[in-house]
């Protein structure tokens, strides 16, 4: 469970950010889970969106959105595999253009804030806001903090927030599995 919720699980102080939702969507395909692909219906995704405080997006998803949502997942996964920011940009820019991810100023209390697709709901909001969140991350810090788990066969995604950029695993369970595997290998060689 921890892998698909990403870093939001540790915070829980606010609803999941759009970048958290990118990781959540990517990790809806988890080769260590049964079933590995949780996006065979929208029930699981709606439930998880609600659990992370984003019920507003869950309410407007329709059955016809399942295929495009899976396509969005694969498009975003390709960005995590991009070796450099230029390749990530080449993948993200068409997604942003296709979704009409235009930032707009929106009243927020006594001030204004910048939002992507503020009037959109459901799939349209996800198609605009998730690539935009990932693009903002890449623009600020490149692709080096985007990772996939180093514990085969897991391929869950994560955003590395460590100071030394040393994160290699999606969760503690995968870290522990990899450490146990390395220990067993050392014992066999000894």
What are the tens digits of pLDDT across the range 89-126?
Answer: 999 999 999 999 989 999 988 999 999 999 899 999 99
- Domain assignment present for residue 159? The answer is no
Q: Are 4 and 28 in contact (CB under 8 A)?
A: yes
* CA neighbor of 101 nearest in space, from 123, 87, 116: 116
CATH number of residue 38's parent domain? 1.10.3300.10
β partners of residue 147: 158
Residue 80 forms part of a structural domain: yes
Return d(Cα 186, Cα 128) in angstroms, integer: 48
Which residue in 141, 65, 127 sits closest to 92, CA to CA?
127
Domain contains 168: no
Q: Which two tokens stand for residue 14?
A: 């606010």
Q: Are 144 and 161 in contact (CB under 8 A)?
A: no
Total domains in the chain come to 1
pLDDT in tens, 155-189: 999 999 888 888 999 988 899 988 888 888 888 88
Is 73 within a domain?
Answer: yes
CA–CA separation, 167 and 117 (whole Å): 32
CA Rg, the chain, in Å? Answer: 18
Is 46 inside any structural domain? yes
Q: What is the pLDDT of residue 109?
A: 86
Q: Residue 85: which domain range?
A: 2-141
Q: Is residue 96 part of a domain?
A: yes
Assess contact for 153 and 31: CB atoms under 8 A.
yes
* 81 located within any domain: yes
The answer to whether residue 6 is domain-embedded is yes
Select from 85, 61, 167, 170 the least CA-distant residue to 134.
85
């Amino acid at each position: 469970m921890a892998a698909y919720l990403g870093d939001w699980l540790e915070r829980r102080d606010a609803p999941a950010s759009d970048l958290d939702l990118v990781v959540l969507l990517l990790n809806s395909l988890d080769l260590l889970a049964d079933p590995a692909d949780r996006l065979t219906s929208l029930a699981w995704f709606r439930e998880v969106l609600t659990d992370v405080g984003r019920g507003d997006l869950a309410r407007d998803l329709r059955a016809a959105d399942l295929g495009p949502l899976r396509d969005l997942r694969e498009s975003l996964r390709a960005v995590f595999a991009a070796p450099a920011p230029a390749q990530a940009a080449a993948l993200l820019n068409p997604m942003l253009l296709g979704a009409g991810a235009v930032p707009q100023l929106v009243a927020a209390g006594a001030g204004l804030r910048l939002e992507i697709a503020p009037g959109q709901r459901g799939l349209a909001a996800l198609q605009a806001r998730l690539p935009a969140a990932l693009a903002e991350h890449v623009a600020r810090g490149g692709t080096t903090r985007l990772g996939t788990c180093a514990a085969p066969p897991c391929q869950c995604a994560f955003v590395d927030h460590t100071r030394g950029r040393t994160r290699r695993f999606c969760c503690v369970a995968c870290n522990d599995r990899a450490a146990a595997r390395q220990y067993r290998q050392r014992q066999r060689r000894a």
